[in-house]
Structure 1
Amino acid sequence: MIESIYDDKGLDKYKPVITRRHEKFEQKKKLLANGSSLSDIANGYLFYGLHRYPDKWVLREWAPNATEIYLIGDFNNWQQKKEFAFYYTYNGNWELELPLDILQHGMLYKLWIKWEDGAGERIPAYCRRVVQDDVNKIFSAQVWTSNYEWKHARSKKVENPLIYEAHIGMASEEEGVSTYIHFREKVLPYIAKMGYNTIQLMAIQEHPYYGSFGYQVANFFAPSSRFGTPEELKELIDEAHRLKISVVLDIVHSHAVRNETDGLSRFDGTFDLYFHDGERGMHPVWNSRCFDYGKNEVLSFLLSNCKYWLEEFRFDGFRFDGVTSMMYYDHGIGRDFVDYSMYYDGNQDEDAIAYLTLANELIHELNPEAITIAEDVSGMPGLASPIRKMGIGFDFRMAMGIADFWVKLLKTKFDEEWHVGDMFYELTNKRKEESTISYVESHDQAMVGDKTIIFRLLDSLMYTDMNVFKRNPKVDRGIALHKIIRLATISTAGDGYLNFMGNEFGHPEWIDFPREGNDWSYKYARRQWGLEKDTNLRYHFLSEFESAMLKVIKKHSIFSSRPFAIIQSTKEQILIFKRKNLIFVFNFSPTKSYTDYAFEIDRGTYRIVLNSDDSRFDGFDLIQMDYNYITQPEKGKNILRLYIPARSAFVLHKTE
């Protein structure tokens, strides 16, 4: 009998489906590897594409429907010439050999592919360098021969990621596209100083439309040339490793851009080379192409892509985007996953589930220290559980419902109506066997059309009342809630925490990439770091609180235990819980402070190690920090009494 990972008896009747899915993964693995390891067969990027050998250039491509293929570029005036014609080898593969003196570093090139009833320019599927023409905005492949010498060892595995989600292009204060160099020199030191141990880099895989946030990928093996060269990206990752920071790639294997001349769609004239044909091959919301995970060639392409980023760029793992869309035929659109039957009702793409399992096995085989994170809103059982126990193999799942919870609370409830019992449940609701990453807001909440937490709290006051020379009660409320919401989220988190670039200091603007509707402006596609550095403004208090919060969380390794609630008083809006030797105290009441608030706790002496009301964080210093809080025996119990100001939170550490 194959072991099930689930202690939940509600899954018992679905064991046959779980077993079948696991067996499908095993069958695919056996078929692809044929007795070898997955890492031995995920080498497509070493075979396909353009390669320089000691005595020649070789370019290989998979295009089974092609009748002719030519290499065109700078070197032949973009003409189809006989000496640049590929020859057919086997199983849909084409090959071209050229003398070394024909191609030089920096030259531009493309493929001209002919099929029975048509032809078109294409960029090689495994191309590692793609650039855009400044005048005509046309993308071309580029010959690239530079190398990078690594200076620092890879990062060790991060057991509890504290993630800084970042976008290279919008990481500068300047209105324009920023660079790998700028990020390495200016942003990396800040991330290290703040206390994050992981960076999640978005929009690295080349994408034609900048405003897609990198989620409409055309060239899966090419790091975006908008931000610089491959070597500059490697130098960024190398420097992060020197700073003991892991770097995770936000990888997009859930779909691909529908562009044909610079993407994979209709690559050899057929619509179903890499993707499903017909309606199933088009994503109904994203207007993009959906991979056919049942085809071995597609599996090889995507697995090779995973290995490429791990081996060539030394990424420390991946955050897989759009996992929900991959796993369900309807992409999970408009569905609330309210019971287990919705995970096993035939709406699941078991080919996609098999691919995700294969990818996780490959990644951890290549680098046991790597981490994988699933962006999934459905809550598929076993998604973040070991493969050996019939899981899909991700190390972590994004706890996406937590961000939705905070938004709903702020939109629908007055402060006086916040139910701390419901809050604690929502923040801690997870399967015991899976690890999760909690967050208040990611890039999703920062996009134009949505609102960040600080924008929901302050709205237009962000522009008028954030100076330190006057007090506005509405701003005081917003800053206080911004701090305690983030502390509540990280202190109840299952196994890790995420923050999007700039949100830690309450960045006042939404994200709006250049587009026709804003006259192609970069005004909102940047981060205004100067606001955080200006001590005449109140933004820096929020980043200072975030940094102090991260330091407490790391120092006391709270993720090695689960939060245990002591008090959940709806009437008083008091939430107190224990985690290891820390006591987290929250008063969400907007008006009521409590004197000598009593509760039972382990006997001992406690001191405050973090206080949201500290004047260092723009608080009012209503709590005495340099004080020993000692339990007192009362009726056979050890009682601690505290003064808990309204709309504040603090953390106590047991010292004796």
Structure 2
Amino acid sequence: MEKEWKAYEIGELDQYLFGQGNHYEIYKKLGAHMVDDEGQEGVYFAVWAPNAKSVSVVGEFNDWDRTRNPMTRAEYIGIYTCFVPGVKEGMMYKFCIETITGEYHMKADPYANYAELRPGTASRITNIENLKWTDSSWMAAREKWNHKKEPMSVYEVHMGSWKRHPGTEDEGFYTYREFAKEITKYMKDMGYTHVEIMGIAEHPFDGSWGYQVTGYYAPTSRYGTPEDFAWMINYLHRNGIGVIMDWVPAHFPKDEHGLAEFDGTATYEYADPRKGEHPDWGTKIFDLGKNEVRNFLIANALFWVEHFHIDGLRVDAVASMLYLDYGKKDGEWVPNQYGGNENLEAVDFFKHLNTVVLGRNPGALMIAEESTAWPKVTGDVEDGGLGFSLKWNMGWMHDFTEYMKLDPYFRKDNHHMMTFAMSYAYSEDYILVLSHDEVVHLKCSMINKMPGLGFDKYANLKAGYAFMMGHAGKKLLFMGQDFAQLREWSEERELDWYLLEEPEHQAIQSWMRDLLHMYKKKQALYELDQSWEGFEWVNADDAYRSIYSFIRHSKDGKHNLLFVINFTPMEREDYRVGVPRKKQYKLILNSDDVKYGGNGEKRQNIYHAVKKECDGRPYSFGYKLPPYGVAVFEF
């Protein structure tokens, strides 16, 4: 008599959908799930290993003996299952894969939700079905939230090196719960809207910063349990902070316990090394031609957004997925069917991914870290686009940092570097980024990119940050740069918070805090971020004096902002700026204020435009612009 099928088991429909690449909640079936089987409590194990000769589950519950709990192969697509009674939460386990050549490999569970703390590599039994959420107000508001019309200033953070407990015997990491409380206080004070958490999925090597993932469905155990991770998200939401996490579908490491050659063959990766390996990174590339692999990744994105309430995924290394020859020499890559270098399978994958994730989760974000001129990254899928919500503006970042590094004497010859990004600013929905990548590998911290000594360095950085906050696009800044961290970032130590005892670092932090709060309060800085109507150059061509002036317009035309920024150490006693109307112009931000490290010279609050042509406009007013001075006026 055929045994009765139980709801937790892998059924024919599950296998069919998984084989088609459309089982969006496959993580509820594959992996290890605590169940009650007719009064007998235990764990139901399921793993996809299509080319394995046999599979068994081993762990603390059977003395890691591969003969004790063999798994049964389901009929269709190579899924192995078994029920093991008496297995308790917290127990460690792995899958023992017998390959077609008769070798045995011990593999961590690709769908595990919890892992042993590195250097251990086993998966752990856990139950994430009953997480406690009290963020219903946030989640309801998220459904109506539209990033195109709202402010978005992102604080990029590496949890293990933001702050650490001093003098502790272990590594001093903050737990998820401790981090949630501390980061919330900091972000509310500073005025950020979102936190972006680097590399939070389980990874074996600290030095990869979380970008070489072995446990795609597991928050890293470095900082606590999956329940602690959920508590952190819940706490941030209840305090009005959005949560973005880095997500890495581009590649995975070759660690023996991970996805590489999972069943003894190229299971998750392309079999041809010219397609399946990154020579620069020493990692494997997902085979996006396999439905089951695509399903693994798409369901994983949904897992974080739906099960853990993550508000957005910043998709790492998109360019490396789109181009078959990325980082490869001639002979190291295989052209597509038309002879081109585009990975057509990756294009199809992104369209599917973004359509499903954003279609099922209104208000969520899919953000592409994409560094090339690939068209329509944020364009609609129906119009040939990839369907992302936002794209990192790497072109702006490159031009900005190169300009800011220049001695002010040479800036007049490179004036275009700061204006060029506005020529393509509306070709995509952009986020301006000064990320962790810009302050590692001998690139210097932001403050040490600045030319000059002492005052000049800090004044340069203030001018640069003001330009960034006034420019069209959402904003992202890596931790430590908002108080002028001097050393390059390292994952091995916490930020140099002691610098905030020094007045110049306090001044940068005060400046950044006021810029962020101004950005959130003044709708001109975000309301028309995707429209030419929102940004207007007053003078984009004052190259000789290296001064930029521009206007940000509010939708109703009643709350406009005028920015004037001087990128040289030359004072302009009566800098005249053209304005559109004969109105009052109220000074709302002045870099010369004492609290920002300026001279504190007394200035009037209101400036009256007079009928005097300047910058091709009929009206203008004069303002004493100090060295590296920034002035923001509201009108």
TM-score after normalising by structure 2: 0.86
Q: How does 1:154-233 map to 2 (within 5 A)?
A: 154=139, 156=142, 157=145, 158=147, 159-174=150-165, 176=171, 177-233=173-229
Structure 1 distance, partners of 2:593, 2:255, is 53
2:426 pairs with 1:432: yes
User: How far apart are residue 420 of structure 1 and its match?
Assistant: 7.1
Q: Could you say if the C-alpha distance between residues 431 and 587 of structure 1 is closer, same or farther in structure 2, counting changes exceeding 3 Å? A: closer
Q: How does 1:118-517 map to 2 (within 5 A)?
A: 118-132=103-117, 137-145=119-127, 147-153=130-136, 154=139, 156=142, 157=145, 158=147, 159-174=150-165, 176=171, 177-261=173-257, 263-331=258-326, 346-419=340-413, 421-430=415-424, 432-439=426-433, 441-457=434-450, 474-494=453-473, 496-513=474-491
8 Å Cα contact 2:151/2:519 also seen in 1:
no
The letter of the residue matching 1:633 is K
User: How far apart are residue 411 of structure 1 and its match?
Assistant: 4.3
DSSP-derived class of the 2:578 partner: strand
User: How far apart are residue 413 of structure 1 and its match?
Assistant: 4.5
Out of 545, 548, 563, the position equivalent to 1:572 is 545
DSSP-derived class of the 2:281 partner: coil
- Which residue pairs with 1:559 in the alignment? 526
Q: Could you say if the C-alpha distance between residues 380 and 583 of structure 1 is closer, same or farther in structure 2, counting changes exceeding 3 Å? A: same
Structure 2 distance, partners of 1:426, 1:506, is 26
DSSP-derived class of the 1:131 partner: coil
Out of 62, 68, 72, the position equivalent to 2:54 is 68
User: How far apart are residue 606 of structure 1 and its match?
Assistant: 0.8
DSSP-derived class of the 2:161 partner: coil
2:495 pairs with 1:527: yes
Identical columns (%): 27
Give CA-to-partner distance per residue, 1:619-650, whole Å, 9 cap, x none. Answer: 112361x4210111237922222221121111
User: How far apart are residue 160 of structure 1 and its match?
Assistant: 3.6
8 Å Cα contact 1:328/1:348 also seen in 2:
yes
User: How far apart are residue 180 of structure 1 and its match?
Assistant: 1.2
User: How far apart are residue 214 of structure 1 and its match?
Assistant: 0.7
Out of 84, 90, 112, the position equivalent to 2:96 is 112
User: How far apart are residue 192 of structure 1 and its match?
Assistant: 1.8
Q: Could you say if the C-alpha distance between residues 85 and 560 of structure 1 is closer, same or farther in structure 2, counting changes exceeding 3 Å? A: closer
Structure 1 distance, partners of 2:462, 2:409, is 15
8 Å Cα contact 1:396/1:436 also seen in 2:
yes
**Structure 1 residues 409-418 or 86-95, which shifts more?**
409-418
User: How far apart are residue 370 of structure 1 and its match?
Assistant: 0.3
Q: Could you say if the C-alpha distance between residues 387 and 88 of structure 1 is closer, same or farther in structure 2, counting changes exceeding 3 Å? A: closer
- Which residue pairs with 1:605 in the alignment? 584
DSSP-derived class of the 2:105 partner: strand
User: How far apart are residue 488 of structure 1 and its match?
Assistant: 0.5
The letter of the residue matching 1:314 is H
**Structure 1 residues 417-426 or 541-550, which shifts more?**
417-426
Structure 1 distance, partners of 2:577, 2:127, is 69
DSSP-derived class of the 2:274 partner: helix
User: How far apart are residue 541 of structure 1 and its match?
Assistant: 1.2
Give CA-to-partner distance per residue, 1:503-539, whole Å, 9 cap, x none. Answer: 11111221234xxxxxxxx3xx31122333x2x4421
DSSP-derived class of the 2:494 partner: coil
User: How far apart are residue 64 of structure 1 and its match?
Assistant: 1.0
Structure 1 distance, partners of 2:329, 2:192, is 34
The letter of the residue matching 1:266 is E
User: How far apart are residue 367 of structure 1 and its match?
Assistant: 0.8
Out of 597, 621, 625, the position equivalent to 1:644 is 625
- Which residue pairs with 2:607 in the alignment? 629
The letter of the residue matching 2:576 is Y
User: How far apart are residue 348 of structure 1 and its match?
Assistant: 0.6
Q: Could you say if the C-alpha distance between residues 130 and 215 of structure 1 is closer, same or farther in structure 2, counting changes exceeding 3 Å? A: same
8 Å Cα contact 1:39/1:366 also seen in 2:
no
Structure 1 distance, partners of 2:329, 2:66, is 48
User: How far apart are residue 333 of structure 1 and its match?
Assistant: 6.3
**Structure 1 residues 200-209 or 180-189, which shifts more?**
180-189
DSSP-derived class of the 1:619 partner: coil
- Which residue pairs with 2:11 in the alignment? none
Give CA-to-partner distance per residue, 1:192-218, whole Å, 9 cap, x none. Answer: 221111111111111110110111111
User: How far apart are residue 179 of structure 1 and its match?
Assistant: 2.5
- Which residue pairs with 1:19 in the alignment? none
The letter of the residue matching 1:527 is L
Give CA-to-partner distance per residue, 1:517-566, whole Å, 9 cap, x none. Answer: xxxxx3xx31122333x2x4421211111111011122112223332111
8 Å Cα contact 2:33/2:127 also seen in 1:
no
Tell me how many residue pairs correspond in the alignment: 580
Structure 2: which 5+ runs fail to align?
Answer: 1-13, 331-337, 529-533, 554-559
Give CA-to-partner distance per residue, 1:429-479, whole Å, 9 cap, x none. Answer: 42524210013x210112242212202237xxxxxxxxxxxxxx8211111
User: How far apart are residue 267 of structure 1 and its match?
Assistant: 0.5
Give CA-to-partner distance per residue, 1:20-46, whole Å, 9 cap, x none. Answer: xxxxxxxxxxxx99999x997311101
Structure 1: which 5+ runs fail to align?
Answer: 1-31, 336-343, 459-472, 514-521
Structure 1 distance, partners of 2:608, 2:165, is 52
Q: Could you say if the C-alpha distance between residues 84 and 149 of structure 1 is closer, same or farther in structure 2, counting changes exceeding 3 Å? A: same
Q: Could you say if the C-alpha distance between residues 208 and 609 of structure 1 is closer, same or farther in structure 2, counting changes exceeding 3 Å? A: same
- Which residue pairs with 2:6 in the alignment? none
8 Å Cα contact 1:172/1:182 also seen in 2:
no
Q: Could you say if the C-alpha distance between residues 334 and 528 of structure 1 is closer, same or farther in structure 2, counting changes exceeding 3 Å? A: farther
Structure 1 distance, partners of 2:571, 2:207, is 46
- Which residue pairs with 1:653 in the alignment? 634
Q: How does 1:5-20 map to 2 (within 5 A)?
A: none
DSSP-derived class of the 1:248 partner: strand
**Structure 1 residues 390-399 or 270-279, which shifts more?**
270-279
TM-score after normalising by structure 1: 0.84
8 Å Cα contact 2:114/2:126 also seen in 1:
yes
- Which residue pairs with 1:51 in the alignment? 33
Structure 1 distance, partners of 2:408, 2:624, is 24
DSSP-derived class of the 1:214 partner: coil
Out of 535, 545, 551, the position equivalent to 2:511 is 545
DSSP-derived class of the 1:408 partner: helix
Structure 2 distance, partners of 1:576, 1:372, is 33
User: How far apart are residue 414 of structure 1 and its match?
Assistant: 4.1
